[in-house]
Amino acid sequence: MLSKKSQYAFKALSYLVEKRNEGPILISEIAEHKKIPLKFLENILLELKKAEILDSKKGKGGGYFLKENPENVKLAKIIRLVNGPIAMLPCVSLNFYEKCEDCNEDHCGLHDVLIEVRDASLNILEKKTLMDLVD
């Protein structure tokens, strides 16, 4: 399940994609239009800026804007950045692998099934981009 933080990140990013030709967008405008708590949104946008997905401009006419072309930003990247692992168990994660306690991966049916779930999810999320979030 996507965290509320991830859902807000995707809402904000979709708004910025829709407004990408209008210049920088104020945080308050994004928060108001997408019904996101302002303080929560500030932290999310800073995180996306540090990851160089967004950039910002200060002063009059300032705000946030997409630094990368939305057609090049995969949804999997955003989920990993904001939510963490895509895999449902740490023992099947590609980027956040951890061995499960009291588990033998060689003989674990759940491990095997969740590898398939991870792969199916990644197959979709690595193909979809921020452009797929807008109508």
The per-residue pLDDT for range 55-98, each reduced to its tens digit, is 999 988 899 999 999 999 999 999 999 998 888 888 888 888 88
Name the packing angle between helices 4-18 and 27-34 (round to 10°): 110
| Mean pLDDT score, 117-121 | 93
List the domain boundaries for the chain: 2-64, 73-131
Give phi and psi for 65, each to the nearest 5: -150, 160
Asked if 49 and 56 touch (Cβ cutoff 8 Å), the reply is: yes
Q: How confident is the model at residue 31 (pLDDT cuts 50, 70, 90)?
A: very high
Its CATH architecture, for the domain 2-64, is Orthogonal Bundle (1.10)
For the chain, how big is the Rg over CA atoms in Å? Answer: 17
What 3-state DSSP class applies to 57?
A: strand
What 3-state DSSP class applies to 126?
A: coil
E strands of 3-109, at which residues? 54-57, 63-66
Distance between CA 68 and CA 132 in Å, rounded? Answer: 15
Asked if 63 and 54 touch (Cβ cutoff 8 Å), the reply is: no
Return the pLDDT at 11.
Answer: 97
What 3-state DSSP class applies to 129?
A: strand
